[in-house]
């Protein structure tokens, strides 16, 4: 018998969680590129926002850089899942580089929307987080000044479009569903003629992960979201947990970041993972709980996902 009895704890495991189809595809693209062309393969920006994933690919020969001018002409380069401004592939073509675009097809869809509205003569309002690579990539599909960025409901009052009757909106794919609905409503109130998607451009994975957090938030004493500080969708899960009633909602990259003293006395916790966090890190967190508690895992599944994206043709050919 052990020296002490572990306290009981129910661990609600949110589902869906973790890798989405776009992240899965982006990682596969880097792995297949390394197989096809050998190391080094350059990757512009973290392929997905997760240190564990990036470190693993670096070990296999991927070289991560922030800008194309850090890459040599004669090695392949991959663009990250978040998307890139148009100037980036244009420059790669000019330098006659081999490049593979790992932009998630659901981000590319927003790029196409933006182009379509622009071609129709509309100026764009993008709802998104300033400086996030997806926002830089999407805004970079159109000439400067054609996309106005808003992050909050308050920002809506501050923009000055060229012609308020000729506007369209687009969004980042990894936003909070609820916050975005409020911003869209503010845009529609100020600019009644604004056109846009039926709701927003938030992707299925973001929507599903937020819904599964909401389903457990009111029965847990603490929520742990496994993800990186620069992962937009992971940070939104923390906020959704808090807004849905779990005051102690924390982002952790790995099990060693859990503050055990802060959750002393907890009887139930929730665990989920952002779209760029691998399941092996979820298991690591569950194991860390098992070391300290007599854990009962209860998986709460609010949706089934069966989305899969093909890798680009160049990698499917021998
Ligand atoms: S979070 Fe959504 S948009 Fe981003 S890579 Fe995953 S599926 Fe694509």
Report pLDDT for 317.
84
Distance of CA 268 to the CA centre of its chain: 27
| Residues 164, 120 share a domain | yes
Report pLDDT for 4.
76
Find the 64 Cα to ligand 1 centroid distance in Å. 20
Catalytic residue selected from 134, 239, 264, 291? 134
The tens digit of pLDDT for each residue in 21-35 reads 999 999 999 999 999
Q: Is residue 41 part of a domain?
A: yes
CB–CB of 214/249 below 8 Å? no
Q: How confident is the model at residue 304 (pLDDT cuts 50, 70, 90)?
A: very high
Report pLDDT for 1.
53
Strand order in the sheet with 99-101: 62-65, 41-44, 77-79, 99-101
Q: Is residue 179 part of a domain?
A: no
Any ligand 1 atom below 6 A from CB of 281: no
Counting the structural domains of the chain, the total is: 3
Beta strands in 112-151 (DSSP E): 123-127, 147-150
Give percent of the chain with pLDDT exceeding 70. Answer: 99
Concatenating the DSSP letter of every residue in 217-241 gives HTT-SEEEEE--TT-HHHHHHHHHH
Q: d(Cα 188, Cα 90) in Å, to the nearest integer?
A: 35
Q: Is residue 286 part of a domain?
A: yes
Report pLDDT for 66.
98
Find the 66 Cα to ligand 1 centroid distance in Å. 20
Nearest to 63 by CA among 85, 37, 93: 37
Q: Is residue 85 part of a domain?
A: yes
Looking at the predicted structure, is the pLDDT value of residue 2 above 60? no
The tens digit of pLDDT for each residue in 250-262 reads 999 999 999 999 9
Summary mean pLDDT of the chain: 97
Give percent of the chain with pLDDT exceeding 90. Answer: 98
User: Which protein residue's CA is at the shortest distance from atom 7 of ligand 1?
Assistant: 22
Q: Is residue 194 part of a domain?
A: no
Q: Is residue 318 part of a domain?
A: no
Looking at the predicted structure, is the pLDDT value of residue 189 above 80? yes
Nearest to 205 by CA among 113, 54, 126, 306: 306
Query: Structural domain of residue 283, as residue ranges?
Result: 8-19+204-301
Q: d(Cα 308, Cα 263) in Å, to the nearest integer?
A: 37
CB–CB of 216/300 below 8 Å? yes
| Residues 26, 15 share a domain | no
Report pLDDT for 81.
98
CB–CB of 127/135 below 8 Å? no
| Residues 86, 124 share a domain | no
| Residues 57, 141 share a domain | no
Looking at the predicted structure, is the pLDDT value of residue 3 above 80? no
The tens digit of pLDDT for each residue in 45-101 reads 999 999 999 999 999 999 999 999 999 999 999 999 999 999 999 999 999 999 999
Any ligand 1 atom below 6 A from CB of 81: yes
Strands 167-171 and 147-150, by their bridges, are: unpaired
Q: How confident is the model at residue 38 (pLDDT cuts 50, 70, 90)?
A: very high
Any ligand 1 atom below 6 A from CB of 107: yes
Looking at the predicted structure, is the pLDDT value of residue 152 above 80? yes
Q: Is residue 89 part of a domain?
A: yes
Query: Can 301 be counted among the known catalytic residues?
Result: no
Report pLDDT for 236.
98
Q: What is the mean pLDDT of residues 130-148?
A: 97
How far apart are the two ends of the chain, measured CA to CA in Å?
58
Q: d(Cα 314, Cα 166) in Å, to the nearest integer?
A: 40
| Residues 215, 135 share a domain | no
């Amino acid at each position: 018998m052990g020296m002490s009895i572990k306290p009981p704890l129910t661990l609600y495991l949110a589902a869906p969680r973790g890798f989405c189809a776009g992240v899965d595809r982006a990682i596969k693209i880097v792995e297949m590129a390394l197989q096809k062309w050998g190391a080094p393969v350059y990757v512009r920006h973290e392929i997905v926002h997760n240190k564990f994933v990036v470190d693993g690919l670096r070990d296999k020969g991927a070289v991560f850089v922030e800008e194309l001018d850090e890459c040599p002409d004669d090695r392949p380069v991959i663009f990250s899942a978040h998307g890139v401004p148009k100037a980036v592939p244009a420059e790669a073509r000019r330098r006659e580089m081999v490049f593979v675009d790992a932009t998630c097809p659901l981000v590319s869809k927003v790029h196409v929307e933006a182009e379509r509205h622009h071609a129709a003569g509309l100026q764009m309002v993008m709802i998104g987080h300033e400086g996030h690579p997806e926002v830089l990539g999407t805004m970079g599909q159109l000439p400067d000044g054609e996309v106005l960025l808003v992050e909050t409901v308050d920002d809506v009052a501050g923009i000055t479009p060229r012609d308020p009757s000729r506007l369209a909106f687009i969004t980042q794919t990894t936003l909070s569903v609820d916050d975005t609905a409020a911003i869209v409503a503010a845009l529609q109130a100020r600019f009644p003629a604004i056109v846009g998607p039926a709701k927003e451009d938030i992707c299925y994975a973001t929507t599903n992960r937020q819904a599964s957090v909401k389903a457990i938030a009111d029965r847990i004493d603490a929520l742990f979201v496994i993800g990186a500080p620069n992962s937009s969708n992971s940070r939104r899960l923390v906020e959704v947990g808090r807004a849905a009633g779990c005051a102690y909602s924390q982002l952790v990259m790995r099990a060693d970041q859990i503050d055990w003293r802060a959750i002393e006395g907890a009887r139930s916790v929730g665990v989920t993972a952002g779209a760029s966090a691998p399941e092996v890190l979820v298991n690591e967190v569950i194991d860390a709980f098992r070391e300290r508690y007599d854990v009962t895992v209860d998986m709460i599944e609010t949706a089934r996902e069966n989305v899969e994206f093909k890798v680009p043709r160049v990698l499917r050919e021998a």
